[in-house]
């Protein structure tokens, strides 16, 4: 019968079978009822057996008709599955990926993105690097696919997947008296002049918590609004601070002394974040899987911040 029937006829037949009515099938398919009637006559004539029978005003499927309805559903299911399968793979051949990262994450995000694009050359990618406020605003507006953050927001419902270690290390000027000491304790360190990011910064909270665990309170000598400003203040001899190791650029490690302090580095993570209700595109899903499949991935599972 594949030589003589058409998918359209089978579609019309399946609608009749489901709705139990020629008229309702014609409405669903935006056809006139005579069209439906004629297509069914053609189909039944072609197969050679009645497919429906009419008792009064009601129509019922014959056993042959019921069997054909079942066969039709199987066939459509096979085709739909194939189409979805292709659509998924095509989504990885063409598509867009839009990322947003806070400034510090920009020291590794371009590299990750570059590796991914090498695998899937047909995908268009964009990466915006900006401050945390703008990242959070963009998350709330659901403007991008994924966001890189060192601390998932707690007032927005997001899915946050840890993708990389984010160690917080203590930095001092290279000629700092503690530069070559080993195993510096926290009390000794607390007596140094501290340079800190603004209150609310994830890094600052982690540092203060680490000292508080040892009954120590830090009083910053200076608060600065960016990691870059802090780095410059350290080099100018204004004090010490603790920053993400990723805050150091490739040519900066030798400019600073990384102090060997008990309780440091504080081990934190970088997270790939997206709003909780968002359906990730095939590409975004693939990128996230790619990040998780890299050798530096952490073993933990996604963290969902609490719903307000």
Partner DNA sequence: TAGAAAGATAGATTATTATCTATACACATA
Partner DNA sequence: TATGTGTATAGATAATAATCTATCTTTCTA
Is position 293 an interface residue for its own copies (rule: CB under 8 A)? Answer: no
Backbone angles phi, psi at 79, to 5 degrees: -65, -40
Binding mask 43-62 for its own copies (x = CB under 8 A): ----xxx-------------
Is position 226 an interface residue for DNA (rule: CB under 7 A)? Answer: no
Write down how long the chain is: 308
Is position 38 an interface residue for DNA (rule: CB under 7 A)? Answer: yes
Is position 41 an interface residue for DNA (rule: CB under 7 A)? Answer: yes
The site partner of 23 among its own copies, DNA, none (C-beta below 5 to 8 Å per kind) is: DNA
Which of 48, 55, 299, 300 touches DNA (CB under 7 A)?
55
Which among 7-15, 83-91, 133-141, 274-282 is the span making contact with DNA, rule CB under 7 A?
Answer: 7-15
What tokens does 160 get?
């946050």
Task: Say how far residue 162 (Cα) sits from the centre of its chain.
Answer: 11
What tokens does 273 get?
């974040």
Please say whether the beta carbons of 245 and 137 come within 8 A: no
Of 7 and 82, nearer to DNA (C-beta) is 7
| DSSP-assigned beta bridge partners for residue 110 | none
> Shortest approach of its own copies to residue 214 CB, angstroms?
58
- Unique residue bearing structure tokens 């540092």: 207
Burial class (CB in 10 A: 0-12, 13-18, 19+), 19: middle
CA atoms lying within 13 Å on the CB side of residue 282:
14
Please say whether the beta carbons of 15 and 28 come within 8 A: yes
Question: Rule CB under 7 A: which of 56-75 touch DNA?
Answer: 56-57, 59
Distance CA 74, CA 146 (A): 38
Of 20 and 63, nearer to its own copies (C-beta) is 63
How many Cβ atoms are within 10 Å of 197's Cβ, its own excluded? 22
> Shortest approach of its own copies to residue 73 CB, angstroms?
10
Binding mask 91-110 for its own copies (x = CB under 8 A): --x-----------------
Interface residue list for its own copies (CB under 8 A): 1-3, 5-7, 10-11, 47-49, 64, 67-68, 71, 74-76, 78-83, 85-86, 89-90, 93
- Which residues form the interface with DNA (CB under 7 A)? 4, 6-9, 12, 21-23, 29-35, 37-41, 52, 54-57, 59
């Amino acid at each position: 019968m594949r030589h003589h029937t058409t998918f359209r006829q089978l579609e019309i037949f399946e609608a009749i079978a489901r709705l139990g009515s020629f008229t309702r099938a014609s409405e669903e398919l935006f056809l006139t009822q005579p069209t439906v009637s004629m297509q069914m006559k053609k189909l039944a004539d072609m197969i050679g057996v009645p497919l429906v029978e009419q008792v009064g005003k009601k129509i019922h499927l014959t056993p042959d008709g019921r069997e054909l309805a079942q066969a039709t559903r199987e066939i459509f299911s096979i085709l739909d599955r194939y189409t979805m399968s292709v659509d998924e793979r095509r989504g990885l051949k063409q598509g867009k990926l839009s990322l947003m990262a806070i400034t510090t994450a920009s020291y590794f995000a371009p590299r990750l993105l570059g590796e991914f694009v090498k695998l899937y050359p047909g995908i268009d990618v964009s990466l915006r690097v900006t401050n945390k406020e703008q990242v959070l605003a963009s998350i709330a507006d659901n403007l991008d696919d994924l966001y890189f953050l060192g601390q998932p927001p707690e007032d927005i419902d997001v899915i946050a997947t840890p993708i990389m270690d984010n160690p917080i290390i203590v930095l001092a000027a290279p000629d700092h008296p503690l530069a070559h000491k080993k195993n510096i304790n926290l009390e000794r360190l607390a007596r140094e002049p501290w340079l800190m990011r603004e209150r609310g910064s994830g890094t600052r909270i982690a540092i203060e918590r680490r000292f508080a665990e040892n009954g120590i309170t830090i009083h910053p000598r200076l608060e600065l609004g960016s990691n870059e400003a802090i780095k410059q203040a350290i080099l100018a001899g204004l004090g010490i601070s603790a920053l993400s190791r990723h805050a150091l650029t490739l040519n900066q490690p030798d400019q600073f002394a990384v102090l060997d302090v008990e309780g440091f580095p504080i081990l934190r993570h970088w997270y790939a974040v997206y709003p909780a209700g968002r359906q990730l595109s095939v590409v975004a899903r693939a990128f996230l899987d790619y990040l998780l499949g890299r050798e530096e991935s952490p073993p933990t599972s996604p963290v969902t911040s609490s719903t307000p």
